[in-house]
Structure 1
């Protein structure tokens, strides 16, 4: 296995994660020998072009191999998923939002259901607060970069006014903070904790974040011999099962 990985590294190839299966071949005996013989390899540039590529295995049918299916445009964002950002506690207004929700007492005698209601209310309030006071970091970076570019072009034909120079200087400072914030978000999503935040390579972290998103994707749930594939159905069944336990 070590030699195999070194060969992939020398060829600049990486294996695409196989979702839902550990083995792809069986010798079909009573006590079968199971192996992973079928694999899909790709390059980092290809993975950058198709970040949502999803590899799964079908039924082996009459064969002893499981056919692999590689979907290039699988929608892994079915429904909006709440993600707590590690930098939120450092932003003004975060603690106030949490205190307001925590002081609200739901009219629910069951402590588990009451906790569930509080957690749901907290996620909604934090998502609304983040959207209103923080917004999209990528969009802000694009806007700041575009404005700085326009000022740079204007400087070639005329001197900037004091207000324009002050705004350009402010945008450059804001852009540094937004870039650091983007690295923090990418670092949290990638779970690569052995690199310093300041040394983060954004493209590197985004590739690992895409890989982690594909690996954590749940294609279906089976509850009481019923199969659920839609995001809303899976979320509802998961919530019911958690409360029941």
Structure 2
């Protein structure tokens, strides 16, 4: 065991997260002893090469151990949704875009549908505005680094012109700013608060982000006699469940006469 621990520490192997089960062995008695003595280990490099892997326990069948099933292609990536990025607040023109986006159809009288319309309009405006204002950060960094490399190679054989030197300095500042912006976005999305400059591309960051995503992944949902596994059907099931929780509009048998109670009407705009 000491040699195994030394091997695990030397090669930095990690215990893969077992999804959906806490124990893998049972004593098979009337009041069973349950433990997790079956484990799967992998290196950090393997974990980064297989970000969509998921480890699950199968039926123990005739054994007292539950065999494990390792899938390398779990459907972790559902349809991308709009996420409001904190850095948008600091961009020039944010308040103007928000004022333009925060509108709704006056014919909508239901306050919940009105709020839904406001959010949907805001999403459309901010998606288009963010794409124009920022664009693809990784692509911009790659393009800037490509140009800087060409200038680096050129100055080995000749002196850069004033315009070329100015552009090279400007591109370095652009890369620095975009890298800081990339860190800010990665920090918000991953909820890793200790993320420092440049840490968004380290193995540690990706390992932590992959681990959090694996733990939050819902492999299946049980609805009555149905076991749902596809992403589309899981979306439908959760939407239906929340619709039932929120309720539906119906005509009330009784109402309150607010005027008779002398309750002033408030402007809710």
- Asked if these proteins are the same fold (TM beyond 0.5), I'd say yes
Question: In the alignment, what sits opposite 1:89?
Answer: 89
Q: Give me the whole-angstrom Cα distance separating, in 2, the residues matched to 1:222 and 1:94.
A: 43
Runs (5+) with no aligned partner, structure 2: 246-269
Question: In the alignment, what sits opposite 1:73?
Answer: 73
Residue 27 of structure 1 pairs with residue 39 of structure 2: no
Question: In the alignment, what sits opposite 2:130?
Answer: 130
Q: 1:89 to 1:137 in 2, by over 3 A?
A: same
Q: Give me the whole-angstrom Cα distance separating, in 2, the residues matched to 1:214 and 1:166.
A: 46
Question: In the alignment, what sits opposite 2:241?
Answer: 241
Question: In the alignment, what sits opposite 2:228?
Answer: 228
Q: Give me the whole-angstrom Cα distance separating, in 1, the residues matched to 2:223 and 2:214.
A: 22
Please report the TM-score for the alignment, with normalisation by the length of structure 2. 0.76
SS class of match (1:104):
coil
SS class of match (2:86):
coil
SS class of match (1:52):
coil
SS class of match (2:82):
coil
- For residues 183-239 of structure 1, give each alpha carbon's deviation from its aligned partner in whole angstroms, at most 9, with x where no partner exists: 22222233222x253474631222211211222122222334333222222223222
Task: Mark the structure with the bigger radius of gyration.
Answer: 2
Question: In the alignment, what sits opposite 1:202?
Answer: 201
Question: In the alignment, what sits opposite 1:151?
Answer: 151
**What is the CA RMSD across the aligned residues, in angstroms?**
2.8
Moved more, 70-79 or 105-114: 105-114
Q: Give me the whole-angstrom Cα distance separating, in 1, the residues matched to 2:85 and 2:235.
A: 21
Runs (5+) with no aligned partner, structure 1: none
| Higher RCO structure, 1 or 2 (CA under 8 Å, sep 6+) | 1
Q: 1:239 to 1:128 in 2, by over 3 A?
A: farther
Please report the TM-score for the alignment, with normalisation by the length of structure 1. 0.83
